[in-house]
């Protein structure tokens, strides 16, 4: 199977200001002598204020999609733009800067920096964003996630639910345009899950959008729409 030509055209400027515009994504991997099509012609568009879930069985391409949207991996065909800025097929240092400025990434691997307090974790993430955050803004964010009293705490002393809320606050600190979350509620109780889903909507900037990969029907029910991935395609 050969990859289609890489699409390097700018995002369409039709005035509707997509937060995320992913067009015709293809990604192939080689496993042994075999080529695996992890994503086939996947297009995703998110407008301001949208919170969308991605669901699909194991191996359907969810992590591959998130990696491409975050600029952590490049598609073999197609393109990704966030807030009109090309994220795919850019040098790794440019992708890292764009991620810092525009994208909050929340994965099981994201984790908090252990030698920093909860507040300093927020401050570090916010320091990369396109717009500077003030200390009162960051304290306000901690208050909203119910962790004001834990601002000076080391991450390892947080409970499971507190850790999930601290990770969310870090991903959303400084108001990224796009939140990409991989199973953001996998490790928490159903009441903490409901709280996290409420917080995602509450804390997302008005011009922002979120894509949540999840197996949870409660996450799907709380989103505006659900994209189903099956064998690397949107079903």
Ligand X SMILES: Nc1ncnc2c1ncn2[C@@H]1O[C@H](COP(=O)(O)OP(=O)(O)OP(=O)(O)O)[C@@H](O)[C@H]1O
Length of the chain: 235
Minimal distance, residue 8 CB to ligand X, in Å? 23
| Residue 55: CB minimum distance to ligand X, A | 9
Strand-strand pairing, 233-234 and 225-230: antiparallel
How many other C-beta atoms lie within 10 A of the C-beta of residue 219? 25
Which residue among 4, 10, 12, 59 contacts ligand X (CB under 6 A)?
Answer: 59
Give the binding-site size for ligand X (rule: CB under 6 A): 12
Tell whether residue 60 is a contact of ligand X (CB under 6 A).
yes
Phi/psi of residue 229, nearest 5 degrees: -100, 130
- Where does this chain touch ligand X (CB under 6 A) — which range of 2-10, 59-67, 96-104, 155-163? 59-67
Binding mask 28-57 for ligand X (x = CB under 6 A): -x-x----x-x-----------------x-
DSSP of 194-216, one letter per residue? HHHHHHHHHHS-TT-EEEEE---
Site for ligand X contains 61 (CB under 6 A):
yes
Map residue 101 onto helix, strand or coil: helix
3-state secondary structure of 80: strand
Binding region for ligand X (CB under 6 A): 29, 31, 36, 38, 56, 58-64
């Amino acid at each position: 199977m050969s990859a289609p030509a890489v699409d390097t055209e700018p995002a369409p400027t039709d005035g509707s200001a997509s937060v995320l515009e992913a067009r015709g994504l293809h990604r192939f991997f080689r496993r042994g002598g075999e080529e695996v099509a992890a994503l086939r012609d996947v297009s995703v568009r998110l407008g301001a204020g949208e919170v969308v879930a991605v669901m699909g069985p194991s191996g359907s391409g969810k992590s591959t999609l998130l990696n491409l949207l975050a600029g952590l991996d490049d598609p073999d065909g197609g393109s990704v733009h966030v807030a009109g800025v090309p994220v795919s097929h850019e040098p790794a240092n440019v992708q890292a800067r764009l991620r810092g400025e525009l994208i909050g990434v929340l994965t099981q691997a994201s984790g908090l920096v252990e030698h920093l307090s909860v507040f300093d974790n927020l401050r570090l993430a916010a320091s990369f964003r396109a717009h500077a955050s003030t200390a009162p803004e960051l304290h306000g964010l901690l208050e909203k996630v119910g962790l004001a009293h834990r601002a000076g705490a080391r991450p390892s002393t947080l409970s499971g639910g507190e850790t999930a809320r601290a990770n969310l606050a870090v991903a959303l600190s400084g108001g990224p345009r796009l939140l990409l979350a991989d199973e953001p509620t996998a490790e928490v109780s159903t009441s903490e899950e409901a709280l996290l889903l409420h917080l995602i909507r509450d804390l997302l900037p008005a011009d922002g959008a979120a894509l949540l990969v999840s197996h949870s029907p409660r996450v799907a029910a709380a989103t505006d729409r659900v994209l189903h991935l099956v064998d690397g395609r949107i079903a």
